[in-house]
């Protein structure tokens, strides 16, 4: 492990990445503290893969700077790469090599390759060591890519939809490994996923990518504390829309309404109860519900 990890394992400062005239990332700012496990959420096409590729120096932004492990991402040194692990969305393997040979070959590039960990993971995930990589199933190829990225116990592990092709049992085992990696306190994990239940299980922070920017970055509990659903019932008919700050969505039908808001205050509740002679119930939302509400604005 790097004895002097930077305060932030990864930093984006005013980063813009354009494809043609479309800004996939638009002056995006994000600073991921060392030792955190961050889940990256966004709709399909929001730019999650582009963000991760910029982080790794695989894509160069037109504007702004990306710093990874204390170095500019685009000119990352070979020594810094020793502390970095990456799993792309689509496994990239040498199809003619057998699984065991591919693991040995990968290990030869790293000073601190943990052969015992690799053998344990390969056994736990039932990887066919004598089979050629090109003949593996999609799920087996993804497992192999994960083992290759975990073998040197990286200080920063970046994962792009890492469990999309795994069955529930393999997903649970992988998430257990992610937690063990992060348990030391100085290792950092950033992963994109569309499986919000997995993110809730392992992430201590959430980054939501929306319209080219990070619309929220913080602890999962903070996000859940911010966004609530209000269930209103009144003796009178509600207006077509409520005009109050912080409202994300509102569904109003006569004397009943569902309002999702970023801002729940005693003053807001008092106003709703008094102005509309309404009863108001405040409901907690899970991460999937929050994500859907944020993207239904």
- Are 167 and 252 contained in the same domain? no
Distance CA 73, CA 202 (A): 26
Q: Band the pLDDT of 182: cuts 50, 70, 90.
A: low
Say how far apart CA 87 and CA 65 lie, in whole Å.
Answer: 23
Residue in the block written with tokens 């702004």: 64
pLDDT digit string, tens, across residues 129-168: 999 999 998 888 988 998 999 899 899 999 998 777 777 7
Whole-angstrom CA distances from 4 to 9, 44, 70 are: 11, 36, 10
Give tens-digit pLDDT for 236-264: 898 888 888 889 999 999 999 999 999 88
Euclidean distance between CA atoms 179 and 134, whole angstroms: 30
Q: How far apart are CA 149 and CA 169, in angstroms?
A: 20
Residues 83 and 205 in one domain: yes
Neighbours of 198 (CB within 10 A): 20
Q: What is the pLDDT of residue 202?
A: 84
Whether residue 175 contacts residue 201, with contact meaning beta carbons closer than 8 Å, is answered with yes
Instruction: Tell me: pLDDT of 290 over 80.
Output: yes
Instruction: Write down how long the chain is.
Output: 297
Identify the domain boundary among 219, 239, 272. 219
**CATH code, domain carrying 212:** 3.40.50.300
The answer to whether position 1 is within a domain reads no
Please say which residue of 198, 219, 240 terminates a domain: 219
Give how many domains the chain has, as a whole number: 2
Structural domain boundaries enclosing 34 = 8-219
In the chain, the percentage of residues whose pLDDT exceeds 90 is 63
* Same domain membership, residue 76 and residue 206: yes
Q: What is the pLDDT of residues 103-125, one digit of tens each?
A: 999 999 999 899 999 999 999 88
From first CA to last CA, the distance across the chain in angstroms is 43
Q: Are residues 236 and 128 in the same domain?
A: no
Using alpha carbons only, how large is the chain's radius of gyration in Å? 22
102-116, 174-188, 244-258, 267-281: least confident range: 174-188
Residues 74 and 96 in one domain: yes
Q: Which residue has the higher pLDDT, 58 or 44?
A: 58
119 and 149 inside one domain? yes
Same domain, 48 and 174: yes
> Which DSSP string do the residues of 250-278 spell out, in sequence order?
EEEETTEEEEEES---HHHHHHHHHHHTE
Farthest-apart Cα atoms in the chain, separation: 73
- Whether 3 is in a domain gets the answer no
- Mean pLDDT, the chain, whole residue set: 89
- Please tell me the predicted confidence (pLDDT) of residue 297: 56
Shared domain for 50 and 157, answered yes or no, is yes
- Domain identity same for 124 and 239: no
Which of the pair, 286 or 177, is modelled with greater confidence?
Answer: 286
Of 203, 219, 235, which residue sits at a domain end? 219
Q: Is the same domain home to 123 and 56?
A: yes
Would 2 be classed as within a structural domain? no
Give the neighbor-by-neighbor strand order of the sheet with 278-283. Answer: 247-253, 256-261, 228-234, 278-283
pLDDT recorded at residue 5: 62
Higher pLDDT, 266 or 4: 266
**Position 35 in a domain:** yes
pLDDT of 84 above 80: yes
pTM of the model: 0.87
Please determine, for residue 2, whether its predicted confidence score (pLDDT) is greater than 60: no
Same domain, 185 and 283: no
Find the mean pLDDT for residues 13-36: 94
- Same domain? For 78 and 194 the reply is yes
């Amino acid at each position: 492990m790097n004895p002097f990890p930077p305060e932030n394992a990864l930093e984006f400062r005013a980063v813009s990445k354009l494809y043609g005239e479309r800004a996939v990332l638009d002056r995006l700012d994000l600073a991921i503290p060392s030792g955190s496990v961050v889940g990256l959420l966004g709709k399909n096409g929001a730019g999650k893969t582009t963000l991760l590729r910029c982080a790794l120096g695989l894509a160069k932004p037109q504007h702004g700077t990306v710093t990874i492990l204390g170095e500019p991402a685009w000119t990352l040194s070979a020594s810094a790469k020793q502390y970095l692990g990456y799993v792309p969305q689509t496994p990239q393997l040498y199809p003619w090599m057998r699984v065991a040979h591919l693991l040995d070959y990968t290990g030869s590039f790293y000073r601190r390759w943990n052969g015992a960990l690799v053998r344990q993971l390969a056994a736990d995930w039932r990887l066919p060591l004598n089979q050629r990589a090109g003949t593996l199933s999609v799920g087996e190829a993804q497992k192999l890519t994960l083992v290759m990225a975990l073998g040197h116990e990286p200080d920063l592990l970046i994962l792009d939809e890492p469990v999309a092709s795994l069955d529930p049992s393999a997903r649970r085992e992988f998430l257990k490994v992610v937690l063990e990696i992060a348990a030391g306190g100085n290792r950092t994990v950033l992963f994109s996923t569309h499986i919000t239940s997995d993110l809730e299980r392992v992430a201590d922070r959430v980054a939501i990518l929306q319209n080219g920017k990070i619309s929220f970055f913080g602890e999962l509990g903070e996000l859940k504390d911010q966004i609530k659903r209000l269930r209103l019932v009144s003796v009178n008919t509600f207006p077509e829309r409520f005009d109050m700050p912080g409202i994300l969505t509102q569904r109003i039908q006569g004397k009943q309404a569902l309002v999702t808001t970023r801002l729940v205050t005693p003053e807001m509740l008092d106003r709703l109860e008094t102005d509309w002679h309404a009863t108001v119930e405040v409901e907690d939302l899970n991460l999937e519900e929050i994500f859907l509400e944020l993207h239904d604005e």
